[in-house]
Amino acid sequence: MTELFLIAHIAGRGVAIDTAQVDSVVDIGEVVAVPRAGTFVRGLAALRSRVVTVIDTGTALGLSPTPDTVRRAVITVVDGHHYAILVDSVEDVAPFVRLPLSSGLALQGGWGRAGTGIVERDGDPLLILDLVAVIPATPLAA
């Protein structure tokens, strides 16, 4: 059975995102910093009349920070809050078969947390990224 995936590039690597998690793909405007928030929070941006939390995907996955020049983002909704997940680029939406992660594959850091499977595109494996897991869980201040 095939599902629709959005193929995007994060930190120079191709990933597949379940389209069910994708609200839209946009270029975000000015980002307002949020002092004291986790480093993975790039800031807040306005998306029409909505305020979204911009996630520095690189930092969130434990890689080097996503450069400031990156403006393209995948919008996802988690628990009623909108998040903009910064991506290097977005390619295409296409149907793929969801395959389990190859056994013994040692994914490091955030990749391991957010990677839920793989799809094969023209023989190349792409990691399926769970956007919910990309956003590090934050203990809510009481």
Binding site for another protein (CB under 8 A): 29-30, 32-38, 40-41, 43-46, 48-51, 53, 55, 78-79, 81-83, 135-136, 138-141
- Residues β-bridged to residue 120: 125
Nearer to another protein, 35 or 104 (CB): 35
**Region at 109 (left for phi over 0; alpha for psi -120 to 50; beta for the rest):** left
Closer to another protein at the Cβ: 45 or 128?
45
Compute the least distance from the CB of residue 106 to another protein, in Å: 28
Q: How far is the CB of 1 from another protein (least distance, A)?
A: 33
Strands laid side by side in the 124-129 sheet: 89-97, 2-10, 13-18, 124-129, 115-121
Kindly state the smallest distance separating residue 63's Cβ from another protein, in Å: 18
Nearer to another protein, 7 or 55 (CB): 55
The sheet with strand 41-47 has its strands ordered as 24-27, 72-78, 81-86, 50-55, 41-47
Among candidates 48, 58, 6, 13, which has minimal Cα distance to 28?
A: 48
Residue number with CB closer to another protein (81 or 89)? 81
